[in-house]
């Protein structure tokens, strides 16, 4: 009888160990894919796009041409509103700020990581609240 009880106890302890290891593996996988939440204000975003424009404008003529863009087939070419083959700083800033405003789903002047993911996912409503972690 004692042997049977000891066997059952050993199996129970072993099963708990496997579950603990499974939980630890799941937690490790979740931690490896963790992206910290972020909040970007419109002002910060505007400064970043201004700096990016200056970096891309290698010849300093206050306009971007296709040879200054990161890739030949880029969405940035759609910012050329007048179709002259150049993207001025005004066209660049207004176009990218319009994108920021589209991502700002609750129109509070900031874009959170949840809003950014909702925008990228094609959702145009309010972002889904994220449950707090363990």
21-52 pLDDT, tens digit each: 777 777 766 667 666 778 999 999 999 999 99
Tell me the two tokens of residue 92.
């660049």
Checking if the pLDDT of 126 tops 50, the result is no
Tell me the two tokens of residue 118.
């909702």
Domains and CATH numbers, the chain: 39-120 (1.10.238)
Structure confidence by residue, pLDDT tens digits, 89-125: 999 999 999 999 999 999 999 999 999 999 988 855 4
- pTM for the structure as a whole: 0.62
35: Cβ contacts below 8 Å, ≥ 6 apart: 113
């Amino acid at each position: 009888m004692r042997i049977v009880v000891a066997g059952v106890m050993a199996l129970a302890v072993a099963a708990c160990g496997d579950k603990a290891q499974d939980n630890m593996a799941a937690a490790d996988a979740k931690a490896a894919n963790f992206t910290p939440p972020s909040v970007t204000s419109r002002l910060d975003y505007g400064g970043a796009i201004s700096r990016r424009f200056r970096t891309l404008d290698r010849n300093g003529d206050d306009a971007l041409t296709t040879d200054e863009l990161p890739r030949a087939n880029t969405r940035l070419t759609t910012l050329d509103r007048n179709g002259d083959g150049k993207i001025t700083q005004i066209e660049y800033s207004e176009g990218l700020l319009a994108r920021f405003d589209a991502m700002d789903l609750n129109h509070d002047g900031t874009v959170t990581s949840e809003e950014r993911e909702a925008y990228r996912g094609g959702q145009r409503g309010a972002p889904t609240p994220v449950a707090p972690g363990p």
